[in-house]
Amino acid sequence: MISAFFIFNQKGEVLISRLYRTDFKRSIADVFRIQVVSNPDVRSPLITLGSTSFFHVRVNNLYVVAVTKTNANAALVFEFCYRFINICKSYFGKMDEESIKNNFVVVYELVDEINDFGYPQNSEIDTLKTYITTESVVSATQAPEVSSRITAQATGATSWRRSGDDVKYKKNEAFVDVVEVVNWMGSAKGTTLRADVDGHIQMRAYLSGTPECKFGLNDKLVIDRGAVGTSGPSSGLADRGGGDAVELDDCQFHQCVRLNDFDADRSISFIPPDGEFELMRYRATSNIKLPLKVIPTVTEIGTTKVSYDITLKTTFSPKLSATNVVVRIPTPLNTTDVDVGILGTGKAKYVPAENVIVWKIARLQGGQECSLSAMAQLTSTTTRQVWARPPIDVDFQVLMFTASGLIVRFLKVFEKSNYHSIKWVRYLTKANGGYQVRF
């Protein structure tokens, strides 16, 4: 359990201080300031001094700190800190010193509402917004009957959704966004060291009443199971060419999904929250289709020059295209100047402050190829320091493409009024700092 909760700014000044339990004085904050904020050697997010443990998470120059004197649940405390950060981001648009200072009353209200006596309480953002309000987050009047409804929602079995009759839409729609972040680590020789996909399915449900949803993916286990009746599980997939099922290593669901059902037959059924939420997260590691190939040739010529030859190839169908492609190519620390030439599309320039060549391509069609060649001039240095050669990093987005091959097969909505609903599905694959190749 959490005994005290603080927010510090970078200088170690206390912005928010809340003691949930009585085993600390407010002055405990000074200990943290001295031991952590002003101690550059501290690299661990968790510090125990005597019997006092400080957990901290850094976000935009702020320290979010939880303090405890017990053998607390470390994962829970960190998850709680991150939840708090997410709530703040959702309420104020961002989380930094300014937004905390401008909204301290709401922050105190939130801090009190999501934790009581050190035990985290309901922290569903949508529910919180119904009764903790700011100028930008306005809710209905606080008549007792409304409050009863709010409290029922905050504690109910479907704490994430207002009761049935409250939700009405003229047009019943559900939007499903499959977003995959593909991580790849390639070796200098072009082999894949690791490739995996962190995917999440974002849903925006504008459905009236209390809709019961069933959601289907081309999950290999489900499809195999379907085939079990006719043939063995191993042959089931091979018969149908195999390529259309995806093997998910692990799935995690929003709390609205009935985990027991999933455990029993891998079916995904739920009553969705109203509005936007993350339905599930998944991870896949097998048969990852890498949308971009990066072929780097980097040679150090003597001690004064480095030549670069980087080729990008898209592997997906020509109907699709990668957008916002940004390639970051590290240069040695003692680079003085870089000559860059590009074959194909895009713009590249050397950014001395970060020691990288940044190559930006607004759009790259499927099946296309383009390359960059550059020559970096180095100053001679007296110290013999090796260059760490950080990996080349590529960021991009590809619409209507999933690196894992995941496809939404169906989304069925059942409601007692039996209305017709429209569903929309979009796919997006992107790289987010984890698509790297060594050279």
Partner 1 sequence: MSIKAPRKGENYELSVDLNSEYREKRKDAIKRVIASMTVDVSGLFPDVLKNMQTDDLEQKKLVYLYLMNYAKTQPELVILAVNTFVKDSDDPNPLVRALAIRTMGVLRAEKIIDYLCDPLQKCLRDENPYVRKTAALCVAKLYDLKPELVIDNGFLEQLHEMIADSNPMVVANTVAALTDIHIAASSQPSISPNDPALFPISSSILTKLLIALNECSEWGRVAILNALARYVAKDDKESEHICERVVPQFQHVNGSVVLAAVKVIMIHMRGVRREDLIKQLVRKMAPPLVTLLSSPPEVQWVALRNINLLLQKRPDILSNEMRVFFCKYNDPLYVKVEKLDIMVRLAGENNVDALLSELKEYASEVDVDFVRKSIKAIGQTAIKIDAAAERCVHVLLDLIDTRVSYVVQEAVVVMKDIFRKYPSTYEGIIPTLCANLDELDEPEAKASLIWIIGEYANKIDNADELLGIFVDTFTEESYPVQLQTLTAVVKLFLKKPDSSQGIVQRILNTATKDCDSPDVRDRAYIYWRLLSTDPGAAKAVVLAQRPPISIPRTTVAPALLEELLGEVSSLASVYHKPEETFVGKGRVGAESLQRKTDAPDDRFSTQKALQTVAAGQQAENLLDFDDAPAVEGRPSGLAATEVLSHTPAAANLLAGTSSNPLDDLVSIFGAPATPAPPSANSHDIFGGLGVNSAFSSGGTGSLGSPAVQSPSVAVPPLQKNQQPEDDLLGLF
- Closest distance of CB 295 from partner 1, Å: 19
Long-range own/partner contacts, residues 26-35 (CB < 8 A, 24 or more apart): 28/4, 28/52, 28/67, 32/6, 32/8, 32/56, 32/63, 32/65, 32/67, 33/8
Rule CB under 8 A: choose which of 11, 46, 98, 351 binds partner 1: 46
| Binding to partner 1, residues 333-372 (CB under 8 A) | none
**Cβ-proximal residues to 190 (8 Å cutoff; 6+ apart), any chain:** 295
As a whole number of angstroms, the distance between CA 20 and CA 69 comes to: 12
Span interacting with partner 1, options 161-169, 205-213, 405-413, 431-439, rule CB under 8 A: 431-439
Q: Determine which residue in the list 47, 326, 342, 400 makes contact with partner 1, applying CB under 8 A.
A: 47
Site membership for partner 1, residue 169 (CB under 8 A):
no
Are 290 and 400 spatial neighbours (Cβ–Cβ below 8 Å)? no
Q: Which of residues 54-83 bind partner 1 (CB under 8 A)?
A: 55, 57, 68-76, 78-82
- What span, in angstroms and rounded, lies between the C-alpha atoms of 214 and 309? 50
Contacts to partner 1 from residues 257-286, by CB under 8 A: 258-260, 262-263, 278, 280-281, 283, 285
Sign, CA dihedral 280-286-288-294, equals positive
Residue closer to partner 1 (CB basis): 154 or 428? 154
Task: For the segment 13-32, give every residue that binds partner 1 (CB under 8 A).
Answer: 13-15, 17, 20-25, 27-28, 31
Report the alpha-carbon distance of residue 275 to residue 128 in Å, rounded.
Answer: 14
Which structure tokens are listed for 322? 């990668």
Q: Which of residues 181-210 bind partner 1 (CB under 8 A)?
A: 185, 187, 193-194, 196, 198
Fill in the DSSP letter of residue 258: -
In the complex, the smallest distance separating the C-beta of residue 172 from partner 1, rounded to whole angstroms, is 26
Nearer to partner 1, 286 or 307 (CB): 286
Which region among 143-151, 212-220, 291-299, 413-421 touches partner 1 (by CB under 8 A)? 143-151
The rounded distance, in Å, linking the Cα atoms of 154 and 22 is 27
The nearer residue to partner 1, 119 or 424, going by C-beta atoms, is: 119
> Does 124 interact with partner 1 (rule: CB under 8 A)?
yes
Contact 278, 238 (CB under 8 A): no
